[in-house]
Amino acid sequence: MDLHFGSLCVRNPNTKFDFARPHMEPIVASTTFSYDDPEALMEIFLGEKKGFIYSRWSNPTIELAENKVAALEGCGLGNTENLKLKARLFSSGMGAIQTLFMSTLKPGDKVIVQGTLYGGTNELLTKILSQFGITPLITELKNLNEIERISSSDKNVKMIYIETPSNPTIDCYDIESLCQIAKKNNQLVAVDNTFASPYLQQPFAYGVDFVVHSSTKYLNGHGNSISGVMVGKNIDFMEKDVFQYLKLLGTNSSAFDSWLLLQGMKTLEVRMQRHCSNALQVAEFLGANTKISRVNYCGLPSHPDHLLAKKQMRDFGGMLSFDLKGGLEAGKKLLRHIKLCSLAVSLGTVDTIIQHPASMSHVGVAKEICQQYGITDGLIRLSVGIEDVKDIMNDLGNALDAI
Ligand code: PLP
């Protein structure tokens, strides 16, 4: 067909896109997908055939990232109840967590959660989902007898939600025991695996139903894209129910963010190894400083959850926090003297990030919850990066000298 100028600007009449096989994953930045045959499109619409229709629903780059996360969470677990996993990618970790709760719980249902929860998850449950009749039971997940009591006596409990290691006190919770309690009572278990990443911890090995991530963090690793992921072993539920929530809530990721995530995941193993070895050295260094009253790092034998972390994790991760004897004022002073570490929220990036939970990530969390779970005014959280560890320790040492 001979086209006029205006049409040639818009169209590519002599070019098909399947002209080459890219070595790296392509960013498929297309809103919609076209077909030659209306029957083929109908079959996909009716769910009789797989295919891409519209990028809010699914997209080739997004699917590549989803498949990689599912493969990593299930790596080596093939023999665990013939485990098969399906992941769905979202616009953020909160998008994934919201979709997890919305797709599995209904008005009247209750979910058991810990007090040391990511601030956003706490607020989502207490401020938003509570308006839809979903009740969070915020309790001490380490007290297994109490969890057993609540779980078996309250028929409205539908889920135990675990974040381990947790934010910002690096407490660890026993995934296997909590799973056993939940399964006895026909309840679901979901784990926020953001701090550990699938390299360090694979909750499906213990029988959990879902894993969620803020893939903004270690999975991406470079601090350049926001995304979240929900992984499940009930493939039908992930393909139909979760898909329905994702496409109707519009909590989808984008091709570009998915691509950045895909690039980041290529170095997950080597990054995590360096994060772990740097964090242990920094924790030991901080532990020897007289201005610090407590270092929370689950890799230290003195940490109350060290043995549990050793059991359910391959290594101890890059996250730690510490309490300054001088409280809030000392914390502010320390942050003013930091030169290398970035003062910012977020975590899991190649560079070291430092923050003050009481005035930053946990500012929206009720004071009594913060007090009860050790989120003190003098607590500083560190996401130890992969820089040369001597430079990280120098920076922290100089700032501590200055307070
Ligand atoms: N879960 C944890 C443990 C987090 O630390 C965060 C964010 O910091 C989230 C979930 C939420 O993730 P996002 O910021 O990608 O929405």
Whether ligand 1 lies within 6 angstroms of the CB of 261 is answered as no
The answer to whether 353 and 320 have CB atoms below 8 angstroms apart is no
Q: Tell me, using a 6 A CB cutoff, whether residue 252 lines ligand 1.
A: no
Centroid of ligand 1 to alpha carbon of 10 (angstroms): 40
pLDDT along the chain (403 residues), means of 10: 89 76 92 92 90 96 97 88 91 98 98 92 96 96 97 98 94 98 98 98 97 98 98 97 96 98 97 98 98 97 97 98 92 94 96 90 78 86 98 98 94
Find the length of the chain.
403
What is the Cα 17 distance to its own chain's centre? 35
CA 118 to ligand 1 center in whole angstroms: 7
Q: Is the peptide bond before 168 cis (omega within 30 degrees of 0)?
A: yes
pLDDT confidence of residue 373: 77
Residue 38 CA, ligand 1 centroid: distance in Å: 41
Structure confidence at residue 81 (pLDDT): 66
- For a substitution probing ligand 1, which of 90, 94, 355 has the most ligand atoms within 8 Å of its CB? 94
Q: Is 165 in the pocket of ligand 1 (CB under 6 A)?
A: no
Q: What is the pLDDT of residues 262-286, one digit of tens each?
A: 999 999 999 999 999 999 999 999 9
Name the burial class of residue 83, with classes exposed (0-12), middle (13-18) and buried (19+) by CB atoms within 10 angstroms of its CB. middle
**Is the beta carbon of 211 within 6 A of some atom in ligand 1?**
no
pTM exceeds cut of 0.85? yes
- Indicate whether residue 93 lines ligand 1 (CB < 6 A): yes
Cβ of residue 216 lying under 6 Å from some atom of ligand 1: yes
Q: What are phi and psi of 96, to 5 degrees?
A: -70, -45
What does residue 230 show for φ and ψ, rounded to 5 degrees?
-120, 130
Residue from 247, 295, 245, 201 nearest 62 by CA: 247
Catalytic residues: 56, 118, 192, 217
**How much is the pLDDT for 243?**
96
Residue nearest to atom 12 of ligand 1 (CA): 93
d(CA 319, CA 112): 24
Question: Among the atoms of ligand 1, which is closest to the Cα of residue 163?
Answer: 3
For residue 167, report the distance from its CA to the centre of ligand 1, in Å.
Answer: 10
The pLDDT of residue 13 = 79
Helix and strand counts by DSSP (H, E) for the chain = 16, 12
350 Cβ contact list (under 8 Å, min separation 6): 221, 222, 223, 271, 385, 386, 387
Q: How far apart are CA 194 and CA 348, in angstroms?
A: 9
Token representation of residue 249: 């809530």
Q: In what order do the strands lie in the sheet with 135-139?
A: 86-90, 228-232, 210-214, 188-192, 157-163, 110-114, 135-139
Q: What is the pLDDT of residue 2?
A: 87
The dihedral built from the CA positions of residue 311, 316, 317 and 321, taken in this order, carries a sign that is positive
Beta strands 292-296 and 379-383 are unpaired
Cβ–ligand 1 contact at 257 (below 6 Å): no
Backbone angles phi, psi at 321, to 5 degrees: -140, 160
CA-nearest residue, atom 11 of ligand 1: 93
- Ligand 1 atom having least distance to the Cα of 167: 3
